[in-house]
Structures are given as structure tokens and as C-alpha cells.
């Protein structure tokens, strides 16, 4: 069902595994502003929306491309927790843990400027209160063939980080592990990050995060340096926005997968759309190169839509590809 080459099965084989998120589904307060105000200043938002975000974006991106998805993070009681649970149910995403009493789920304020770039400020809630009992429940819920996705946000949280690192170290060998270190990559304690990197089958990051992890500004050099740090068992994706993605398959050399030029209206959730699509396509048995090409297209689609959870369905992705050979390959693999 799975192997250390980074694939999850034969091409075209629909897998029994699921995407299990050891991350945080929170509420995003998204404010669109012409530009960020200067320090001490103020600016009027042109549009404000409240939506579920965080790890929810990855789960929906994978689910919309046909991969079963499970939220294995913590969640609270209160209006934000209720909203997160309702949106998970709406998207057909299972939950492992019961709500934490007397504390609500946290939220994030996301400022999206006129160029589509986003800047965040996060308030932690119940999702940052994982316990060893939670970890035991998650381990008991896993199935052969599952693919576990971890976010650096959780690893950076003082309570969650040690619990997650211990949990990851105990994962059965048949579980594939995917890490997105996220914007807090340089704030993850080494004693937490090291065992997670040791166990990872794939690491995906953007250029800034790649620089934080390797000290290299050049995307190709950062991808190669990260792959060298991780060893031949682990694959690397270094996302370079419109320039595409650098793929280093386990034990392989860096390969540039070109991006797609689109008019971006909102980059919030683009990396999550890329991650969710990549994992869904791997889960359907596609090789990493094809999965990255599909993920690049899914991310390009996502930035043309407003909102964080804007990963495409298979039909939307095929239409977006507009007759390209990749469209037929995805349709065949995903059974459209």
C-alpha cells in the first residue's frame, strides 16, 4: 500500500487510506485592506469575512479531490468551536477527538492586502491544548495506509509541540508522514522538530520557510539543502508561488515543476490548497511529479478565488486545465 519512495500505490489505484490532520482547524477573521497600516496607524477594511481556516483548508482541498479526510486536532466549546465542527461536517470530514470543555477554539486575523499577500495574527484556543490522552486516541484511530499531515504551527505551540513530537515518533511504519513547517518554522524547538523531521516522508514549505530552515535564499539551493538535511528517505517540495515548485523525490535530484500565471486576488490558503491537492493525488496513486503538477494547478486556481478554503473540485480542476494532457491524466486517476 505504501513505500519509502514517497508513492502510496500503483498509478490509478484508489487507496483505502485517509488524510489525517494533526493540525489546527481555527476560525479566520479575514480583513481585506489596500495595504498594511504603518506602525501605530489604522486603515479601514474594504471587506471582512469570518470563515473556518487553518488546517481546515488542507482537509477540504484533499476532500474535494476525493481523498477521505479526518481532523485529529483539538477543538473547543463555544461559537468558534461550533463553527469549526459545522464546517467539518459540511465538507464530509470526520473528527477523532471530543470537544474540550470550558475553552473555545482559537482564531486568526488575516490581513489580505491589495496585492493578494496575507499577514496573520493568531489567538490560541483549545486547539493548542493537546494532551497525552488525545495522542492515545489519535493513535488508536489510525488505519493502514493513512497519510498524516502535521503543521509547524502545532509544533511551535508550547503544549502541543512535545505531544506531537512524541506521537509522531510512535506512528506505525505503514503511516506516511507529511510536514508543512509553516511561518513559525524558526520558532519550533529543535527537540520537537528533530524527531518529526526524522520520521517525515515529505516536507513541503515555501521559499521563506525554506530559507529559515536552510539559510539559502535561492529556491533550488534551499530545496537541495533541505533534502540533504533530511536524507534519502524523505522527499521535499519547495513552493515558489507563481514560479512553481521545486520537487526533490526521496533520494533524487531537484526538479523544477513550472507554475501557472494567473491574476491573484487572494493568496490566503494557496499553500494549503497545494498541500491538500498533492496529498490527494498521491493518495490516488499518482507519481510525485504528476501530483506536484496537479497541486500547482490547484494552488493557481485557489488564488483566483476569495477565501482561504478555495481548493478546486476535480471538475473545477479539469476545467481549469482546459484540455491539457494533465487534465485527462487526473480524470482517469480520480475516476471522473
Report the pLDDT averaged over residues 306-318. 87
Order of strands, sheet of 255-257, starting from the edge strand that comes earlier in the sequence: 94-95, 69-71, 19-22, 147-151, 176-180, 202-206, 235-239, 245-248, 255-257
Give, as one character, the DSSP assignment of residue 100.
Answer: B
Spatial separation of the C-alpha atoms in residues 107 and 122, rounded to whole Å: 6
Spatial separation of the C-alpha atoms in residues 176 and 144, rounded to whole Å: 10
- Going from N- to C-terminal start, the domains of the chain cover 19-23+54-103+127-335
For the cut 70, the answer to whether the pLDDT of residue 7 exceeds it is: no
Residue 97 CA to chain centroid, in angstroms? 20
Q: pLDDT at position 9, please?
A: 37
pLDDT tens column, 97-144: 999 998 999 999 989 898 878 788 999 999 999 999 999 999 999 999
3 close to 26: Cβ distance less than 8 angstroms: no
Q: pLDDT at position 330, please?
A: 93
Residues 51/56/60/66 CA torsion (nearest 10 deg): -160
Report the pLDDT averaged over residues 168-195. 94
For the cut 70, the answer to whether the pLDDT of residue 227 exceeds it is: yes
Q: pLDDT at position 99, please?
A: 97
Question: What are the φ/ψ torsions at residue 193 (nearest 5 degrees)?
Answer: -70, -40
Percentage of the chain surpassing pLDDT 70? Answer: 95
Q: Return mean pLDDT, the chain.
A: 91
126 close to 74: Cβ distance less than 8 angstroms: yes
Q: pLDDT at position 112, please?
A: 86
pLDDT tens column, 237-270: 999 988 899 999 999 999 999 988 888 777 777 8
Reduced to 3 states (helix: H, G, I; strand: E, B; else coil), residue 72 is: coil
CATH number of 19-23+54-103+127-335: 3.40.1190.20
Report the pLDDT averaged over residues 303-311. 82
Q: pLDDT at position 11, please?
A: 33
Spatial separation of the C-alpha atoms in residues 240 and 220, rounded to whole Å: 10
Q: pLDDT at position 336, please?
A: 61
pLDDT tens column, 49-72: 999 998 999 999 999 999 999 999
Amino acid at each position: 500500500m505504501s513505500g519509502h519512495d514517497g508513492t502510496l500505490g500503483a498509478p490509478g489505484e484508489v487507496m483505502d487510506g485517509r488524510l489525517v490532520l494533526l493540525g489546527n482547524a481555527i476560525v479566520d477573521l479575514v480583513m481585506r485592506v489596500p495595504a498594511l497600516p504603518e506602525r501605530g496607524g489604522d486603515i479601514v477594511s474594504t471587506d471582512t469575512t469570518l470563515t473556518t481556516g487553518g488546517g481546515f483548508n488542507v482537509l477540504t482541498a484533499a476532500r474535494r479531490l476525493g481523498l477521505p479526510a479526518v481532523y485529529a486536532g483539538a477543538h473547543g466549546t463555544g461559537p468558534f468551536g461550533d463553527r469549526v465542527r459545522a464546517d467539518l461536517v459540511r465538507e464530509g470530514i470526520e473528527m477523532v477527538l471530543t470537544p474540550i470543555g470550558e475553552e473555545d477554539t482559537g482564531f486568526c486575523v488575516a490581513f489580505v492586502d491589495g496585492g493578494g499577500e496575507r499577514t496573520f495574527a493568531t489567538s490560541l484556543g483549545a486547539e493548542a491544548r493537546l494532551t497525552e490522552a488525545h495522542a492515545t486516541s489519535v493513535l488508536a484511530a489510525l488505519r493502514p495506509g493513512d497519510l498524516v499531515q502535521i503543521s509547524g504551527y502545532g509544533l511551535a505551540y508550547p503544549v502541543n509541540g512535545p505531544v506531537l513530537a512524541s506521537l509522531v515518533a510512535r506512528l506505525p511504519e505503514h503511516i506516511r508522514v507529511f510536514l508543512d513547517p509553516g511561518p513559525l518554522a524558526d520558532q519550533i524547538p529543535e527537540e520537537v522538530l528533530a524527531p518529526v523531521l526524522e520520521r517525515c516522508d515529505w516536507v513541503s514549505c515555501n521559499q521563506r520557510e525554506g530559507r529559515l530552515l536552510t539559510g539559502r535564499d535561492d529556491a533550488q539551493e534551499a530545496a537541495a539543502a533541505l533534502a540533504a538535511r533530511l536524507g534519502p528517505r524523505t522527499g521535499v517540495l519547495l513552493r515558489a508561488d507563481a514560479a512553481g515548485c521545486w520537487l526533490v523525490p526521496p533520494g533524487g535530484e531537484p526538479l523544477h515543476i513550472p507554475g501557472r500565471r494567473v491574476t491573484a486576488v487572494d493568496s490566503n490558503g494557496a499553500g494549503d490548497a497545494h498541500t491538500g491537492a498533492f496529498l490527494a493525488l498521491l493518495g490516488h496513486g499518482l507519481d510525485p511529479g504528476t501530483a506536484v503538477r496537479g497541486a500547482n494547478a490547484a494552488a493557481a486556481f485557489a488564488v483566483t478565488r476569495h477565501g482561504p478554503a478555495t481548493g478546486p473540485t476535480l471538475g473545477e480542476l479539469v476545467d481549469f486545465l482546459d484540455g491539457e494532457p494533465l487534465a485527462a491524466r487526473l480524470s482517469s486517476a480520480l475516476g471522473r
